């Protein structure tokens, strides 16, 4: 792959993630974007283009949400594009921004992701129901949790994973999130708390799931020459990958996210990574459910298929372990405003690789990290590799 | 969060704040009604369900037989070639025991959604429910068969199959 | 086949009818909350002013979209302004004919740099023109709820 310019992240910002915010979507986008600009001392006039990631209009209840958010996203009278691939959006938005600069078209780009799910009543889940085929699936009266339950159960069955080894991920991430100032659901829980929580659709229980949230995040991207003028410690986007699988989800074996592996291969090849397990210092895979973190670790080839639960159980994925996973606290601990959640992970990579993560700082000298998001009908994998 | 940043924006509201009118709200009930057409493939699929049959499609190039049927093979990216009448038996690929319904109402006796791989297809499954079994007895790989509604109750819907039930126990 | 037929009603084909079952509860936002409360309590219209470019925004925002500066200077605006654009509507949102045509206008309040949209009443449709001076007619305090409809309409300014 030939790119015209190397791209770095030079600034980042985010709002608190909350169950319901007073701020409008525009105000949330503004707060994150403003913070990102302030973090690197830039004004809006320094930004040449803006990309915005936001999940369905049906959540905020605003038609053409991309256009609605423009003024809060700093895109007034600028080249602007919206992107959306379900939950994968948060990691896809920086890829989209990366394309703007790597192509040689622009030198700076502001990437913003926003979600305000609390407007949707009685519960945002109702807007999700149309993800099921209206003719062949909705008449059965499915609940969104069913898809996750079916996938989780298949994963557990193929690799003979006991529930405790999955529950431990929820415990870890909510505990990690206690060091994250924006976290919505940071708390100390035990594996037993998870195993005793309400069974929604076995094997999914209440404490396996991340919350719905309102929130926004933003990053500033710059081409190499410009980045070096803005900051002494740019963080390079060295690899990007994205891949989607068929919507016929009942025609695939759900135990393994092949589309995440495909996206990861694309990103690793670009970044020159031959042995991800050895070369990646820490990772932020997407964790809307606890089993998903493990599912995605395997898709990212950070371990063998079926091995992730053992690594989690043995503490290898703790912040001070050999391969820290979700040091931020992930979606399970920080929150899940659909598009902003993935970008929060990118922000985490940025702060970690610059040693600015405070109490969440991964020890040692992390130089290479990977963030991944997932979305739609068990379909999309988006992967970004960043290096200090 | 960066150690350099002191304060993060965001004004959390609780459900009680909304009920007590602490903030001004606009309550909007959109009339979003839809008529979704079945299309060519699913049109036939549903019509055949009314006849008491499950049909799939086959691509001659890669040989895959798929259900629910579509008029094109997405891996070869070409139109596929023929209709295949399938058996109404299959194997449970994965299942769940759900204590929540579509609108999140809690139920004591679980619904058992499952992906059932239909015999005769290339590992193609459909979403349906499993019935006439104790939830404790459902197994991965279990053989099941469709229980059809009586012909005059069928309407041309996936629910013309009431559920799949275990066979050969 | 399919693509070459003219379909007159979707119900002629095999179909499923349904809905996306959601309703929405919108907050006014940080700026909107203050704006609407001031209208409700005091029948006053507020805007926010950008220190950098001097643009007066109404409805008020917490940010200037032009400069991307945070706006914290609130200004009280007069409730008079002029018509920047207008139209006469003969149909309601569902396509039914209105008993009385409605006049909608973009009105720029004096001292503001942006227009708001509202209804004009107490004047004949043919009598409305661009540049016409209008004034807000507020509802009685007991009828105000914290909505832009607390201004019932705009009417011609007394000469």
Please spell the DSSP secondary structure of A1-54, one letter per residue. ---SS-EEEEEEEEPPPBSSBSS-HHHHHHHHHHHHHHHTT--GGG--EEEEE-
Q: Provide the pLDDT confidence category of residue C3 given band limits of 50, 70 and 90.
A: low
Q: Provide the pLDDT confidence category of residue C10 given band limits of 50, 70 and 90.
A: confident
C114: closest CA of chain B, how far (Å): 23
Q: Provide the pLDDT confidence category of residue C34 given band limits of 50, 70 and 90.
A: very high
- Tell whether C24 is covered by a domain: no
Among candidate residues C22, C135, C32, C27, the one with its CA nearest the CA of residue C78: C135
A312 φ, ψ (degrees, to nearest 5): -65, -45
Q: Is C30 on the interface with A (CB under 8 A)?
A: yes
C-alpha–C-alpha distance, residues C130 and C142, integer Å: 33
Q: Which of C2, C14, C27 to mutate to probe the B interface, most B CBs <10 Å?
A: C14
Inter-axis angle of helices A338-353 and A89-102, to 10 degrees? Answer: 60
- Closest residue on chain C to A58 (Cα): C22
| A172-199 CB burial, b ≥16 within 10 A, e <16 | bbbbbbebbbbbbbbeeeebebbeebeb
- For residue C141, the enclosing domain spans 29-156
Q: Provide the pLDDT confidence category of residue A297 given band limits of 50, 70 and 90.
A: very high
Structure token digits, residue A343: 């970008």
Is residue B89 predicted with pLDDT exceeding 80? Answer: yes
Are A27 and C26 inside 8 Å of each other by CB? no
Are C13 and B36 inside 8 Å of each other by CB? no
C-alpha–C-alpha distance, residues A140 and B128, integer Å: 7
Among candidate residues B5, C1, B114, B100, the one with its CA nearest the CA of residue A354: B5
Chain C CB contacts of A72 under 8 Å are 63, 65
Is residue C20 predicted with pLDDT exceeding 90? Answer: no
* pLDDT score for B104: 83
Structure token digits, residue A131: 């993800």
Chain C CB contacts of B46 under 8 Å are 14
C-alpha–C-alpha distance, residues A161 and A159, integer Å: 6
pTM over 0.90? The answer is yes
Q: Is C27 on the interface with A (CB under 8 A)?
A: yes
CB-based contact A125:A201 (threshold 8 Å): no
CB-based contact A132:A138 (threshold 8 Å): yes
Are B37 and C146 inside 8 Å of each other by CB? no
* pLDDT score for C159: 64
* pLDDT score for C4: 66
* pLDDT score for A378: 84
Q: Where are the domains of chain A?
A: 7-121+211-387
* pLDDT score for C85: 97
Query: How many domains would you assign to chain C?
Result: 1
Is residue A264 predicted with pLDDT exceeding 50? Answer: yes
C-alpha–C-alpha distance, residues B113 and A141, integer Å: 10
* pLDDT score for B169: 58
- Closest residue on chain A to B22 (Cα): A22
For residue C62, give the CATH number of its domain: 2.40.50.140
* pLDDT score for C17: 86
Residue among A119, A122, A127 whose CB faces C20 most closely: A127
Are B24 and C17 inside 8 Å of each other by CB? no
Q: Where are the domains of chain B?
A: 39-166
Strand B106-111 relative to strand B97-100: parallel, antiparallel, unpaired? antiparallel
Q: What is the mean pLDDT of residues C82-96?
A: 94
Return the beta strands (E) in chain A as ranges.
7-14, 49-53, 80-83, 108-116, 120-121, 199-202, 204-205, 214-223, 235-244, 282-284, 368-375, 380-387
Is residue B1 predicted with pLDDT exceeding 70? Answer: no
**Which chains have 3+ CB pairs within 8 A of C?**
A, B
B35: closest CA of chain C, how far (Å): 5
* pLDDT score for C1: 43
Interface size B-C, in CB pairs within 8 Å, comes to: 74
The overall average pLDDT reported for chain A is 95
Structure token digits, residue A335: 């929150």
- B25-70 pLDDT tens trace: 999 998 888 888 898 999 999 999 999 999 999 999 999 999 999 9
- Closest residue on chain C to B102 (Cα): C21
* pLDDT score for B123: 83
Is residue A1 predicted with pLDDT exceeding 80? Answer: no
- For chain C positions 6-25, those within 8 Å of chain A (CB to CB) are 16, 18, 20-25
* pLDDT score for C19: 83
- A93-129 pLDDT tens trace: 999 999 999 999 999 999 999 999 999 988 888 788 8
* pLDDT score for A4: 82
The overall average pLDDT reported for chain B is 93
**Which chains have 3+ CB pairs within 8 A of B?**
A, C
**Cis upstream peptide for A122 (omega within 30°):** yes
- A151-191 pLDDT tens trace: 999 999 999 999 999 999 999 999 999 999 999 999 999 99
Output the CATH code of domain A7-121+211-387. Answer: 3.40.47.10
- Helix, strand, coil shares of chain A, percent, nearest 5, are 40, 20, 40
CA dihedral B117, B122, B123, B129 (to 10 degrees): -20
- If you write DSSP's letter for every residue of C109-155 in order, what string do you get? ETT-SS-EEEEE-SS-GGG--TT-EEEEEEPPGGG--SSGGGEEEEE
Interface size A-C, in CB pairs within 8 Å, comes to: 75
Q: Provide the pLDDT confidence category of residue B2 given band limits of 50, 70 and 90.
A: low
Q: Provide the pLDDT confidence category of residue B148 given band limits of 50, 70 and 90.
A: very high
Are A21 and B74 inside 8 Å of each other by CB? no
Q: What is the mean pLDDT of residues C110-124?
A: 94
Alpha helices in A69-163 (DSSP H): 89-102, 125-128, 145-159
- E strand or H helix at B27, and its extent? strand B25-28
Q: What is the mean pLDDT of residues A285-302?
A: 97
- For chain B positions 60-99, those within 8 Å of chain C (CB to CB) are none
**Cis upstream peptide for C59 (omega within 30°):** yes
C136 φ, ψ (degrees, to nearest 5): -75, 135
A342 φ, ψ (degrees, to nearest 5): -65, -40
């Amino acid at each position: 792959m030939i790119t015209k310019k190397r791209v770095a992240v030079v600034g980042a910002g985010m709002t608190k993630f909350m169950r319901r915010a007073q701020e409008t979507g525009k105000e949330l986008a503004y707060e994150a974007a403003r913070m990102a600009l302030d973090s690197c001392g830039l004004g809006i006039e320094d930004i040449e283009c803006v990309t915005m990631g936001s999940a369905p209009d049906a959540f905020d209840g605003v038609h053409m949400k991309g256009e609605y958010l423009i003024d809060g996203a700093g895109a007034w009278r600028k080249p602007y594009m919206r992107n959306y691939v379900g939950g994968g959006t948060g990691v896809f938005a920086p890829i989209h921004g990366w394309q703007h600069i790597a192509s040689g078209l622009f030198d700076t780009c502001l990437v913003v992701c926003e979600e305000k799910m609390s407007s949707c009543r009685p519960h945002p889940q109702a807007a999700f129901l149309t993800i099921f085929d209206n003719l062949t699936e909705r008449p059965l009266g499915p609940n969104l949790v069913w898809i996750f339950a079916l996938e989780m159960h298949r994963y557990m069955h193929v690799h003979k994973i006991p529930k405790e080894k999955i529950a431990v991920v929820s415990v870890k991430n909510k505990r990690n999130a206690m060091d994250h100032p924006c976290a919505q659901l940071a708390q100390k829980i035990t594996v037993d708390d998870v195993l005793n929580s309400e069974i929604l659709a076995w094997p999914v229980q209440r404490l396996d799931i991340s919350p719905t949230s309102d929130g926004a995040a933003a990053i500033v991207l710059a081409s190499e020459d410009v980045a070096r003028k803005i900051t002494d410690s740019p963080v390079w986007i060295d690899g990007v990958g994205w891949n989607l699988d068929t919507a016929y989800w009942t025609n695939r074996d759900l135990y393994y996210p092949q589309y995440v592996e495909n996206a990861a291969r694309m990103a690793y090849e670009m970044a020159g990574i031959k042995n991800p397990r050895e070369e990646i210092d820490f990772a932020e895979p997407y964790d809307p459910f606890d089993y998903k973190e493990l599912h995605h670790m395997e898709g990212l080839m950070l371990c063998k298929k079926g091995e992730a639960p053992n690594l989690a159980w043995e503490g290898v994925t703790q912040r001070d372990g050999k391969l820290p996973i979700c040091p931020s606290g992930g979606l399970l601990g920080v929150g899940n405003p659909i598009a902003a959640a993935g970008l929060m992970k990118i922000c985490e990579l940025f702060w970690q690789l610059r040693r600015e993560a405070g109490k969440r700082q991964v020890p040692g000298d992390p130089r290479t990290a990977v963030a991944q998001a997932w979305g739609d009908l068990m379909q999309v994998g988006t992967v970004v590799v960043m290096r200090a | 969060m960066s150690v350099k940043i002191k304060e993060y924006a965001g004004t959390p509201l609780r459900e009680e704040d909304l009920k007590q009118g602490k903030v001004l709200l606009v309550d909007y009930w959109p009339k979003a009604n839809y008529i979704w057409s079945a299309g060519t493939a699913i049109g036939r699929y549903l019509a055949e369900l009314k006849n008491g049959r499950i049909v799939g499609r086959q691509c001659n190039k890669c040989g895959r037989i798929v259900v629910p049927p579509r008029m094109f093979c997405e891996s070869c990216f070409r139109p596929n070639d023929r209709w295949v009448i399938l058996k109404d038996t299959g194997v449970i690929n994965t299942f769940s025991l759900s204590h929540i319904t579509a609108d999140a109402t809690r139920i004591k006796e679980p619904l058992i959604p499952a992906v059932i791989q239909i015999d005769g297809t290339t590992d193609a499954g459909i979403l349906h429910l499993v019935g006439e079994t104790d939830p404790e007895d459902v197994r991965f790989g279990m053989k099941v068969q469709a229980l059809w509604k009586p012909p005059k109750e069928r309407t041309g819907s996936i629910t013309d199959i009431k559920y799949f039930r275990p066979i050969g126990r | 086949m399919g693509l070459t037929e003219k379909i007159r009603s979707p119900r002629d084909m095999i179909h499923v009818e349904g809905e996306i079952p959601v309703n929405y509860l919108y907050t006014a936002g940080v700026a909107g909350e203050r704006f609407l409360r001031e209208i409700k309590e005091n029948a006053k219209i507020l805007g926010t002013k950008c220190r950098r470019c001097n643009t007066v925004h109404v409805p008020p925002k917490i940010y200037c979209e032009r400069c991307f500066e945070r706006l914290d200077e609130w200004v009280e605006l007069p409730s008079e302004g002029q018509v920047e654009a207008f139209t006469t509507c003969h149909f309601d949102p569902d396509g039914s004919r209105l008993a009385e045509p409605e006049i909608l206008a973009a009105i720029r309040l004096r001292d503001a740099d942006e227009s708001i949209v509202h209804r004009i009443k107490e004047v004949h449709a043919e009598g409305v023109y661009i540049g016409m001076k209008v004034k807000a007619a507020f509802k009685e305090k007991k009828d105000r709820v914290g909505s832009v409809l607390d201004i019932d309409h705009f009417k011609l300014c007394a000469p």
